[in-house]
Amino acid sequence: MTETNMHDYVTVFISDQLFGIPVLEVHDVLRGLNLTKIPLAPPEVAGALNLRGRIVTAIDVRKRLGLPEREEDENSMSIVVEHQGEPYSLLIDSVGEVLSLDLNELQPTPVTLNSCWKEISGGVYRLENKLLVLMQIEQLLNFADSSTIAA
Amino acid sequence: MDDLLSEFLTETNENIGIVDASIVVLEQDPSDESQIDNIFRLVHTIKGTCGFLGLPRLEAVAHAGENVLGKIRDKELTVTADVVTLILEAMDAIKDILATIEETEEEPAGNDADLIARLNDVAFGEAPKEAAPEPEQEELPAGKVSEAELEAAFQAAEGPDEDLAEEELRPGEVSEAELEAAFQAAEGPDEIVESLELQQEEAPLEEKKPAAEKTTKESNIANQSIRVNVQMLENLMTMVSELVLTRNQLLQMVRGMDDNEFTVPLQRLSHVTTELQEGLMKTRMQPIGNAWSKLPRIVRDLSHELGKKIDLVMHGAETELDRQVLELIKDPLTHMVRNSADHGLEVPEDRKAAGKQQTGKIVLEAFHEGGHIIIKITDDGRGLNSEKIKQKVIENGLASEAELEGMSKQQIQNFIMRAGFSTAEKVTNVSGRGVGMDVVRSNIEKIGGTIALTSEEGKGSTFTIKIPLTLAIVSALIVECCGERFAVPQTSVVELVRASTNNTSDHTIEMINGSPVLRLRDHLLPLVHLNEIMRLETAADEVADKSEVKGSEEFIIVIQVASYVFGIVVDRVFDTEEIVVKPIAPILKNLSIFSGNTILGDGSVIMILDPNGIAAMSGDAVVNTDGASKEETKQAQVQDEKIALLVFRAGGKDPKAVPLSLVARLEEIDVGTIEEANGRKVVQYRGQLMPLTTIEDNIEIREEGRQPVLVFSDQDRTMGLLVEEIVDIVEDHLDVEMLSERDGYVGSAVIREKATDIIDVGYCLSKCFGSWFGDTETRPFGHNGEKQKVLLVDDSPFFRNMLVPLLKTAGYDVSTAENGAEALKKRDIGETFDIIVSDIEMPEMDGFTFAEEIKGDDRWNETPIVALSSHTTPGDFDRGRAVGFSDYIAKFDRDSLMSALSQTLKESGSAK
């Protein structure tokens, strides 16, 4: 096992599913958001928020993944990532820890997953008691096409 | 140093750097067309600018280089290592000359005949080297003198280089031989250069030497200003915004407390922050005048060079633009002004011949409109010649003849903005190598702007550049709708109106088939609900909630987009705030109703509404700026022209109808108030006596109670038409199928599947007023009571029948024609008219073409034409004016028609 294959991931929970986001892509972790709704925007876009003077577009990951909406009272958190120079904030349920995982242990995405999950998944890690889905930010934010098909 | 010059130096040095790099890329991949286009443009720019600054030597080199590049672009020359070497050599020569200019502010003496000759050899394929210098000498007078002498003079280390300081000459003298060897080694084998020419090369070489030394010195210009990456300013801006927010929070905290130790430092912090913010803003914003400042000189030089008299007028130089945007439009603007001067304006003799003032005019305008910055460049020159453009388009293979047939004039004119197009027959120094408008367009589109052009042959052209306000700072009105806040750019807000839906305030929102409208003074204002546009409050319970609350009070923001005015209904209106517009995220780019977003003082994000987008969404074709699609919709409207008709009964069971637009009011009068005067029925109405009439004598007038009356109004006269019953208002196609023989009727039409008589309002009016008409101001302007001859061109028999009596009563001699072609037949048989009234939408030949025909022929070109249309959009209006209509009137607006007729006649009469 070589050092170069170790990658760090921030783990997040969305609807009890564990996801991993490459730690280098994470710019910020936010709590308690003050979102401005954007009418007429795609449903996955939850709104916009002000992050230290930058306008960040918030993405509702649950909607993106076709999961049911979250209960109102749950404490919302989000992870800020950057894609093509634009900041996006991914609304998630909670943030776990940072794990260092070996790329060699990454399993391919099961083909039986539903199409939008398959799209965003970069593979699956078998952790001791849970499965971790590797989240591909680029695919996650590339929902313009899929949403129009859905609509 | 001259601002102009220093700017030129900075810019050209940069450009040459780009050319250097690009040309190497090109050499590796000669098929890369964008690369060669780019290089060609840059060199073209250098050449052009040199010309204005009076740098002939630089210009000559650049020009020759451009020739070669032009050939490469046109694929007449393949890119080989030799060609590239030669071009790089030319770039080096330019660089050296630039360095000298920077030091001395003057072009170094000497010439580059050899280099130019070689460049031209390559460009024009003059393979025999002996022959090449011959024509060259004629082209470049300097070459003639120097070629032989130079060589001799050179040996003596004197001659043409005398102007240079002596000490600068000396190193050249010493190293002559070495230099030559070094040069050859450095530049590689110059295969193109034959031994004969090698000797000539000594001349440029000599100059190069001292110049090369100078380049090693620090560039002075670079120290005078710093070019800062805009991204850096952006970051600073972000940080300052953050600082402002933090300050605001602090202020909020301290406000609650009494005097304490924080108050004073905090105040100071507050001041500094504000100043910092303002200062930063200023670094980004510049008045557009900065980009214009060099234009007067360019125009002046141009006018000398071209032998034209040019007057440059500039309006709105203070309009502020984001620096980045400004930089990007600077070159396009210069190009366009240059184009206007070169292609647009005629030489004084031609202008005189065309009956224009000798001095041509170029007008530059800049202003904010509807959240955009509009820049207009207008010239009163010869305009665009569609035929020439067509020819050129076919020549250059941009479109086929068949394709062109189907295109509108506008579309054809737009070809001038395609790459590889130039209308000037000869390639001048100033412009006309096919760069220009396509560069302009691509530059403007790069920043999300649009460019439109309107041109009238013989009258001039107008280019309108529209740049979105992205990055600009605007004052915005903050409004609320369904709990969400939005910003509306203040520039497009005309006024604010408070209205209610239940009669509690002066303004009430009324509904027409579910569409809300508002009576605003003498206008009917279409309204849109912001929540409906935004599809807010989708949850059913919220709707129920709102419907109770709603209705009490609403705010209407009256918005103007171009000339289309409409109202946006919102729940609340807050304050205005200065905002920095930030572009919205790329994934939301297709939302046309937002022009951007921003962060408010309280730190919340807010979306900025784009009035243009909302106008477009509210489904009004008026804001459709695309000429082509407007044509189409207009075509559709012609076939589907519905008219609102008032259907009533009067005398007999058959329904009668009158176009609603002719009816001023509907009244019900108490029959008891009807009096008799002068043998006629009259009623006191609004402080005046209003004569009453009936269509038929057998109409039953009630003994008591109220009788409905249609009130017709003509200027300050009103008359009432007594009817039995007002049945309905219908919108239907009005097709007069049977013309009437009876007085008082135009004819009969099928309305709602029933035969309906259409009454002739003109008849009723004349019945009531008769002889009065003679004395009113609508009396045609004429000489000694002679009747003015009017030609009425309209395809609808109904309108012809309606207007003819009207015009006749008003004292005109009326002839009619069904369409433009028919009207032109009258011209061909030699008839003349004092004025022509023409419909716009007609089969065979529409009004615009008709007007163009008339203005293009000297038989009727003096005759004023008034346009008559049922669809008056601002675009039509402009177009009408442009093709030569003196006035543009809505079809049913008789008052305007009458006054326009007499007014136009008066004007043309006094002009004669």
Task: Dump pLDDT digits (tens) for B75-90.
Answer: 777 778 788 888 888 8
**What does the pLDDT average to over B734-743?**
65
| B551 backbone dihedrals φ, ψ, rounded to 5° | 95, -30
Q: Which residue, B577, B574, B582, is CA-closest to B598?
A: B582
Reported as type and span, the H/E element at residue B335 is helix B323-339
* Among candidates B484, B586, B588 on the partner chain, residue whose Cβ is nearest the Cβ of A41: B588
Contact B415, B21 (CB under 8 A): no
pLDDT band at B503 (very low <50, low <70, confident <90, very high): low
Q: Which structure tokens are listed for B649? A: 């009964």
Q: Which residue, B513, B465, B520, B475, is CA-closest to B496?
A: B520
Closest residue, chain A, to B582 (C-alpha): A55
Q: Of residues A60 and B627, which shows the higher confidence score?
A: A60
Do residue A48 and residue B597 have CB atoms under 8 angstroms apart? yes
**What does the pLDDT average to over B281-304?**
79
Collapsed DSSP state (helix, strand, coil) of residue B226: coil
Q: What pTM does this model have?
A: 0.42
Q: How far is CA B851 from the centre of its chain?
A: 23
Q: Of residues B126 and B11, which shows the higher confidence score?
A: B11
Which of A50, A83, A142 has the most B C-beta neighbours within 10 Å, making it the best mutation to test the interface with B? A50
For A10-19, B262-271, B570-579, which range has the lowest pLDDT when averaged over its residues? B570-579
Closest residue, chain B, to A42 (C-alpha): B588
Q: How far is CA A127 from the centre of its chain?
A: 19
**What does the pLDDT average to over A22-45?**
85
pLDDT band at A20 (very low <50, low <70, confident <90, very high): very high
Q: Of residues B698 and B377, which shows the higher confidence score?
A: B377
- Beta-strand (E) ranges in B734-856? 736-739, 745-751, 754-759, 788-793, 812-817, 835-839
Residues present in chain A in total: 151
CB-defined contacts A:B, below 8 A: 65
Name beta bridge partners: B887.
B866
Contact B881, B852 (CB under 8 A): no
Predicted confidence (pLDDT) at residue B320 exceeds the cutoff of 70? yes
pLDDT band at B206 (very low <50, low <70, confident <90, very high): very low
pLDDT digit string, tens, across residues B800-848: 766 776 777 667 778 888 777 788 888 888 778 888 888 877 777 777 7
Q: What is the structure's pLDDT at B505?
A: 62
Do residue A53 and residue B597 have CB atoms under 8 angstroms apart? no
Q: Answer positive or negative: Cα dihedral of B542, B543, B544, B548.
A: positive
Q: What is the structure's pLDDT at B473?
A: 58
Q: Answer positive or negative: Cα dihedral of B467, B469, B475, B481.
A: positive
Q: Which structure tokens are listed for B624? A: 């459709």
Give chain B's mean pLDDT: 71
Whole-Å CA distances, B353 to B310, B339, B852, B911: 17, 22, 20, 19
Collapsed DSSP state (helix, strand, coil) of residue B466: strand
User: Which residue is associated with the tokens 């987008």?
Assistant: B613
B349 touches chain A (CB under 8 A): no
Q: Strand A131-135 and strand A17-22: pairing?
A: parallel
Q: What is the structure's pLDDT at B66?
A: 83
Predicted confidence (pLDDT) at residue B378 exceeds the cutoff of 80? yes
Chain B nearest-CA distance from A51, in A, is 9
Chain A nearest-CA distance from B403, in A, is 35
Counting Cβ atoms within 10 Å, is residue B28 exposed (0-12), middle (13-18) or buried (19+)? exposed
Do residue A39 and residue B241 have CB atoms under 8 angstroms apart? no
Highest mean pLDDT among A56-70, B15-29, B670-684 belongs to A56-70
* Among candidates B485, B536, B599 on the partner chain, residue whose Cβ is nearest the Cβ of A55: B599
The percentage of residues in chain B with a pLDDT greater than 90, rounded to a whole number, is 0
Contacts of B594 in chain A (CB under 8 A): 38
**What does the pLDDT average to over B102-122?**
79
* Among candidates B238, B535, B587 on the partner chain, residue whose Cβ is nearest the Cβ of A53: B238
* Among candidates B241, B594, B606 on the partner chain, residue whose Cβ is nearest the Cβ of A53: B241
Q: How far is CA B179 from the centre of its chain?
A: 57
- Beta-strand (E) ranges in B210-359? 285-287, 310-315, 320-322
For B440-444, B446-450, B671-675, which range has the lowest pLDDT when averaged over its residues? B446-450
Amino acid identity for residue B465 in this structure: I
Exposed e or buried b per residue across B608-644, where buried means at least 16 C-beta atoms within 10 angstroms of its C-beta:
bbbbbbbbbbbeeebbbeebeebeeebeeebeeeebe
Q: Which residue, B893, B889, B790, is CA-closest to B839?
A: B889
Counting Cβ atoms within 10 Å, is residue B717 exposed (0-12), middle (13-18) or buried (19+)? middle
* Residues A74, B141: Cα–Cα separation, whole Å: 86
Give the number of other CB atoms < 10 A from CB of residue B385: 15
Q: What is the structure's pLDDT at B475?
A: 72
* Residues A90, B572: Cα–Cα separation, whole Å: 31
Highest mean pLDDT among B230-244, B515-529, B641-655 belongs to B515-529
* Residues B241, B595: Cα–Cα separation, whole Å: 20
Chain B nearest-CA distance from A28, in A, is 17
**What does the pLDDT average to over B716-736?**
75
User: Which residue is associated with the tokens 């539903």?
Assistant: A114
For A125-134, A135-144, B93-102, B221-230, which range has the lowest pLDDT when averaged over its residues? B221-230
* Residues B457, B848: Cα–Cα separation, whole Å: 14
Q: Which structure tokens are listed for A52? A: 């230290």
Whole-Å CA distances, B657 to B282, B694, B715: 65, 14, 23
* Residues B249, B812: Cα–Cα separation, whole Å: 76
For B44-53, B446-455, B504-513, B783-792, which range has the lowest pLDDT when averaged over its residues? B783-792
Closest residue, chain A, to B589 (C-alpha): A41
* Residues B196, B142: Cα–Cα separation, whole Å: 19
Q: What is the structure's pLDDT at B211?
A: 42
A86 touches chain B (CB under 8 A): yes
pLDDT band at A40 (very low <50, low <70, confident <90, very high): confident
Predicted confidence (pLDDT) at residue B267 exceeds the cutoff of 60? yes
pLDDT digit string, tens, across residues B669-694: 887 788 887 777 888 877 777 888 87
Q: Of residues B176 and B62, which shows the higher confidence score?
A: B62
Chain A nearest-CA distance from B536, in A, is 7
Predicted confidence (pLDDT) at residue B495 exceeds the cutoff of 80? yes
Q: Of residues B903 and B213, which shows the higher confidence score?
A: B903
A88 touches chain B (CB under 8 A): yes
Do residue B535 and residue A40 have CB atoms under 8 angstroms apart? yes
For B125-134, B508-517, B767-776, which range has the lowest pLDDT when averaged over its residues? B125-134
